[in-house]
Amino acid sequence: MQIDEKKLAEYYSGAPDDISLDDVDLTRIPRHVSIIMDGNGRWAQARGLDRTKGHVAGVDSLREAVTTSVRLGLDVLSVYAFSTENWKRPQREVDMLMHLFATTLLKELPLFHQENVRLRFFGDIEALPAQTRNVFEEGLDETADHTGMTFALAVNYGARAELTRAARLIAQDVAAGIVQPQDVDQALVESHLYTAGLPDPELLIRTSGEQRLSNYLLWQLAYTEFYVTPVMWPDFSRWDMLRAIRSFQGRHRRFGGVVSA
């Protein structure tokens, strides 16, 4: 996406000591950044608060991450908000999260309009409580014509479920005679993933220091650069995004080949 350099410089004024806009090459910003937003519960507990307060605080970080990504000219920002395993959490926390997703999305629709952001979901949103699902569908409808950055929210998402679903859809097409077994290739598999049509993430950020994928985008992250920061998600700021991109730009990506001189 196009960068508005004036807006970007203004957005990134008042830099801390260790990082500024000058530390990143604006011509080499990743097209797709994905974030595992982790540490809301620990952030709250460290302050003597209920875990759910951490999720509420995390919404502010997410709003900032969307704006930051638009300013930096990303094509896609995707975030992991709720996994297929997160249903195991106490019912009260699950209910609170589902409610928070719905109310937040409604509240942020004006931002998506203002910034021309197109919404998308990764995961089985059909299985969500009706209120949440309805708001998600409204969000999809209302932003379908937007031509700016794609913002993808992974909710009720699990990579194993996604790959299993793709296998099932392809098997159905084979059984119906629409696809021949020898025509099943990587492009066909990709076209049955929730991420169909999007570039793979070039950079994956995980907050709260955990060094695992937790069933996130197993296929799509095959050659993604990882950046793990100890910062808890509610504390993640536009500067942390810049630190992550600076780190990314210092990497040698080889994709199995050799480094060119």
Q: Partners of 32 in the beta sheet?
A: 76
Near ligand IPE by CB under 6 A: residue from 37, 117, 170, 217: 37
> Per CB under 5 A, which region of 34-42, 127-135, 139-147, 241-249 contacts Mg ion?
34-42
Is 38 designated active site? yes
Near ligand IPE by CB under 6 A: residue from 52, 78, 83, 150: 83
> Per CB under 6 A, which region of 31-39, 65-73, 104-112, 113-121 contacts ligand IPE?
31-39
Residue type, 156: N
Near ligand IPE by CB under 6 A: residue from 30, 33, 40, 201: 40
Instruction: For residue 39, state whether it binds ligand IPE (rule: CB under 6 A).
Output: yes
Instruction: For residue 38, state whether it binds Mg ion (rule: CB under 5 A).
Output: yes
- Shortest Cβ 154–Mg ion spacing (Å): 14
Q: Partners of 34 in the beta sheet?
A: 78, 204
Which residues contact residue 255 at a Cβ distance below 8 angstroms, ignoring those fewer than 6 apart?
A: 223
> Per CB under 5 A, which region of 26-34, 37-45, 171-179, 240-248 contacts Mg ion?
37-45
- Shortest Cβ 224–Mg ion spacing (Å): 20
d(CA 113, CA 48) in angstroms, rounded, equals 37
Active-site residue (options: 50, 86, 116, 173)? 86
d(CA 103, CA 106) in angstroms, rounded, equals 5
30 binds, among ligand IPE, Mg ion, none (CB under 5 to 8 A by kind): none
Is 134 designated active site? no
In the bound state with ligand IPE, the residue whose beta carbon lies nearer, of 40 and 69, is: 40
Binding site for ligand IPE (CB under 6 A): 36-42, 80-83, 86, 97, 208, 210, 212, 214
Binding site for Mg ion (CB under 5 A): 38
Which residues are part of the catalytic machinery?
A: 38, 86
